A and B are shown apart, each in its own frame.
Chain A
């Protein structure tokens, strides 16, 4: 028995040593840039981009790793906390404050100053991605702007016009919410609200455009003013009072939102270009898009983004920046977007033909001028991931009032 145990152990050690040795061998001569990314489609590979980069930059090799989205940020933080992050990683803007406060990111200003591609990236993107300390830590990678999808056929059937204000929107949504097969149950809902994680974009389009703001120009929290609470109440009422969103709303995530749209349960919802292909394939000409309606105090829609960050712990900062900037150059960025289905950050890619998805690209560019982001605050990540969904759901279920909901948010950001 003892012998078996020690044999097993020896075998185990041998196996793992071999696995380790083969894993770490290449690292000797050339510079290796470890890169983390996430793509929705498991089959898309970065291989063509990596091949191109490696042939243009001899001596640097890219070790790319696709990390599943649900585990992405947790793994990134664990790796940072353990002092072993990747050299470059795809990141979201709302993670930036935490990562910067952790000292995890390398400021890239001096690199960007020497980089030719700077002017080909939209100025608005540089503005939005700059951190509050005035430094640039992120290399832009892709962008999206959220807009309203709607069912053209249903609008025509009911003789509805595209709503441009919040009040018009409510009227349209009410009209679209109806019983189409005569069984006495509502079977089409006017507006699909995402009540689960990620739904702050839906909320923001109506609440942040009507008097609520995270921080006003004096840096005070502007979420609990009477206007803000009223705007929030208006949004809650879409579900509770007017019932223009399906009963499943509090738990609906992206998948439900899109499925409901595709199989005709909802007539309008908000999302970005990333889902345009699927919508078009499912519904063809029956679906189109318009910018989100105006609130009582302007228009707001969410700017969705991805950037690449270079980590401060890297041993190969120059090579790491080269890779991050390579991906932000027009030709390569266009290749990247073919996999991600999103929008290039380069001005020179603006006029690429989009074929049958033109109407969605138009809605994107029409919405860009008023697209905004959540505050660059370390509490934003938890707000997006946990606080917003839980609090919104409680308000939807009537467990808390609009005021209590906004006070919870205010408290979260004031800590």
Chain B
């Protein structure tokens, strides 16, 4: 009975969701190992007659995909650190203090997020050109801060709100300063939330396209730009593109695999006793 229940309510839906999540990739993978000629000429096939690893070889040998991976990794990591560093204290403030202008400030963090990215492009381009930071990691980290800071501030405010206020108070009674309470007591408890927000920033930065296409060119070239580079006016190197997609997803998946243990670890620390 228990088994049937588990089968019906855990394993079956799990399998369906995984299939949905992975289906396009499985199909993309099949396309990526299908020789280009075979793909168009022979129509739909569920497995190529002559599977080939040629696209993956091209990806690494002829196109500097490793450099692109490194650029994306650096940009995403710095964006994450930058975004978190600036928004953690802000969220703490929103969550723990009641002060003049709080609602207004909280709201402005929301409202500025509503402006379409395309219209921030030109002003930012002008500003960054003047500062002489075009085509650097810094330009992307700053550009991504336009959405990561407001976003993380909101996200983490709600995570902090879920943490009982008594926790800070008891820490302060024990002699911690306000900042000490934040670092020693609230942080560890909020870790899953902070990690989730961090992952969000990381992934968003990893995949961001519009800013990267305008603010960087030669020295910094992230994965989405490298992938976009494979789309021509007349031809789409389909096999190459899906190979790139598969490869670019791997580091993030691995990363999350480790971080999600961290998520659980934060919980089992057992601080959420209220």
Distance, CA A12 to CA B78, complexed state (A): 7
Whether the pair A68, B43 counts as a contact (CB closer than 8 A) is no
- B231 within 8 Å of A (CB atoms): yes
**A-chain residues with CB within 8 Å of residue B236 when the two chains form the complex:** 255
**B-chain residues with CB within 8 Å of residue A78 when the two chains form the complex:** 121-122, 125, 214
A254's partner among B85, B136, B234, B240 (CB-CB below 8 A) is B234
Whether the pair A255, B137 counts as a contact (CB closer than 8 A) is no
Whether the pair B82, A40 counts as a contact (CB closer than 8 A) is no
**B-chain residues with CB within 8 Å of residue A263 when the two chains form the complex:** 40-43
With A41-B232, A84-B129, A282-B37 already in contact, the answer to whether A65 and B218 are too (CB < 8 A) is: yes
Query: Chain B: interface secondary structure?
Result: helix
- A1 within 8 Å of B (CB atoms): yes
With A41-B235, A42-B230, A259-B40 already in contact, the answer to whether A19 and B125 are too (CB < 8 A) is: no
Whether the pair B136, A39 counts as a contact (CB closer than 8 A) is no
Q: How many A-B residue pairs have CB under 8 A?
A: 121
Whether the pair A282, B41 counts as a contact (CB closer than 8 A) is yes
- A63 within 8 Å of B (CB atoms): yes
- B133 within 8 Å of A (CB atoms): yes
A69 to chain B, nearest CB (A): 4
A23's partner among B136, B182, B213, B240 (CB-CB below 8 A) is B136
- A400 within 8 Å of B (CB atoms): no
Residue of A nearest to B121 (CB): A78
- A113 within 8 Å of B (CB atoms): no
**A-chain residues with CB within 8 Å of residue B183 when the two chains form the complex:** 1
Q: Which residues of B (180-199) have their CB < 8 Å from a CB of A?
A: 182-183
Whether the pair A19, B137 counts as a contact (CB closer than 8 A) is yes
B33 to chain A, nearest CB (A): 19
Whether the pair B237, A42 counts as a contact (CB closer than 8 A) is yes
Whether the pair A23, B135 counts as a contact (CB closer than 8 A) is yes
Distance, CA A242 to CA B183, complexed state (A): 73
**B-chain residues with CB within 8 Å of residue A183 when the two chains form the complex:** none
Whether the pair A43, B235 counts as a contact (CB closer than 8 A) is no
- A27 within 8 Å of B (CB atoms): no
Residue of B nearest to A63 (CB): B218
Q: Which residues of B (221-254) have their CB < 8 Å from a CB of A?
A: 225, 228-237, 240
With A1-B183, A42-B237 already in contact, the answer to whether A69 and B138 are too (CB < 8 A) is: no
Whether the pair A68, B135 counts as a contact (CB closer than 8 A) is no
Residue of B nearest to A84 (CB): B129
Distance, CA A43 to CA B225, complexed state (A): 15
**A-chain residues with CB within 8 Å of residue B136 when the two chains form the complex:** 16, 19-20, 23
**A-chain residues with CB within 8 Å of residue B219 when the two chains form the complex:** 19, 22-23
Chain B interfacial residues counted at CB < 8 A: 48
Whether the pair B125, A1 counts as a contact (CB closer than 8 A) is no
- A281 within 8 Å of B (CB atoms): yes
Whether the pair A38, B233 counts as a contact (CB closer than 8 A) is yes
With A20-B133, A66-B229 already in contact, the answer to whether A282 and B40 are too (CB < 8 A) is: yes
A41's partner among B213, B228, B237 (CB-CB below 8 A) is B237
**A-chain residues with CB within 8 Å of residue B179 when the two chains form the complex:** 1
**B-chain residues with CB within 8 Å of residue A254 when the two chains form the complex:** 233-235
The residue among A39, A63, A66, A82 with the most chain B CB atoms within 10 A of its own CB is: A82
**A-chain residues with CB within 8 Å of residue B132 when the two chains form the complex:** 20
- A412 within 8 Å of B (CB atoms): no
Whether the pair A69, B41 counts as a contact (CB closer than 8 A) is no
- A13 within 8 Å of B (CB atoms): yes
The residue among B37, B40, B220 with the most chain A CB atoms within 10 A of its own CB is: B40
Whether the pair B234, A262 counts as a contact (CB closer than 8 A) is no
A179 to chain B, nearest CB (A): 17
**B-chain residues with CB within 8 Å of residue A158 when the two chains form the complex:** none
- B271 within 8 Å of A (CB atoms): no
Distance, CA A83 to CA B220, complexed state (A): 21
- A348 within 8 Å of B (CB atoms): no
Distance, CA A278 to CA B228, complexed state (A): 22
- B7 within 8 Å of A (CB atoms): no
Distance, CA A263 to CA B38, complexed state (A): 10
A214 to chain B, nearest CB (A): 23
- B26 within 8 Å of A (CB atoms): no
Distance, CA A259 to CA B39, complexed state (A): 9
Distance, CA A40 to CA B228, complexed state (A): 11
With A16-B136, A82-B122 already in contact, the answer to whether A68 and B231 are too (CB < 8 A) is: yes
With A20-B132, A40-B234, A282-B37 already in contact, the answer to whether A12 and B125 are too (CB < 8 A) is: no
Q: Which residues of B (118-170) have their CB < 8 Å from a CB of A?
A: 121-122, 125-126, 129, 132-139, 141
B227 to chain A, nearest CB (A): 9
- B100 within 8 Å of A (CB atoms): no
A86 to chain B, nearest CB (A): 9
The residue among A67, A70, A71, A282 with the most chain B CB atoms within 10 A of its own CB is: A71
Whether the pair A40, B235 counts as a contact (CB closer than 8 A) is yes
A398 to chain B, nearest CB (A): 30
- A8 within 8 Å of B (CB atoms): yes
Residue of A nearest to B138 (CB): A16
- A335 within 8 Å of B (CB atoms): no
With A5-B85, A78-B122, A281-B37 already in contact, the answer to whether A70 and B231 are too (CB < 8 A) is: yes
Distance, CA A82 to CA B127, complexed state (A): 9
What are 20 pairs between A and B in contact, CB < 8 Å? A8-B82, A12-B82, A13-B138, A15-B138, A16-B139, A19-B138, A19-B220, A20-B135, A22-B219, A39-B232, A40-B232, A40-B234, A41-B237, A42-B232, A67-B217, A69-B233, A70-B228, A78-B121, A83-B126, A263-B41
Identify the 10 closest CB pairs spanning chains A and B, nearest first.
A40-B232, A16-B138, A69-B233, A68-B228, A82-B125, A23-B219, A16-B136, A5-B85, A71-B213, A262-B40
Which residues on A are within 8 Å of B, measured CB to CB? Answer: 1, 4-5, 8-9, 12-13, 15-16, 19-20, 22-23, 38-43, 63, 65-71, 74-75, 78-79, 81-84, 254-255, 258-259, 262-263, 274-275, 278, 281-282
- Given contacts A19-B219, A83-B126, 13 further A-B pairs with CB under 8 A are A5-B85, A16-B139, A20-B133, A23-B136, A23-B218, A39-B232, A42-B237, A68-B228, A69-B233, A71-B213, A81-B125, A254-B233, A262-B40
